[in-house]
Amino acid sequence: MTIKEAQQTVDKWITTTGVRYFNELTNTAILMEEVGEVARIMSRKYGEQSFKESDKKVDLADEMADVLWVLICLANQTGVDLTDALQKNLDKKTARDSDRHQNNEKLK
């Protein structure tokens, strides 16, 4: 599935099964909640925190998909073409950081 197809698929689901989008502010709050759930898993799986019993059945991939879902909702609501936005962002990073990381002693 391309990013464009994902945006179309989410929009179709929202306007049929989901009835309508939550407003942009609500979706922003939901996005922060979902990112927090990813952070919780990461801190337990790869960091120094331990899992509680209630945390042991979490699915990192599913939580990341929740983040992507809400981000796509926000893009759809605000008229952002994520394919175009990602390409522009990659171009910006490439121009800005073409030598920066190669010359970073901390990364060697």
User: How many Cα neighbours within 13 Å face the side chain of 93?
Assistant: 7
- Number of domains the chain is built from: 1
pLDDT, tens digit, 9 for 90 and up, residues 63-72: 999 999 999 9
What is the model's pTM? 0.90
Which long-range contacts link 41-47 to residues 24+ away (Cβ below 8 Å)? none
pLDDT, tens digit, 9 for 90 and up, residues 14-46: 999 999 999 999 999 999 999 999 999 999 999
> Is residue 50 in a domain?
yes
Q: Where does the pLDDT of residue 101 fall: very low under 50, low under 70, confident under 90, or very high at 90 and above?
A: confident
**CATH code of the domain covering residue 10:** 1.10.287.1080
> Is residue 102 in a domain?
no
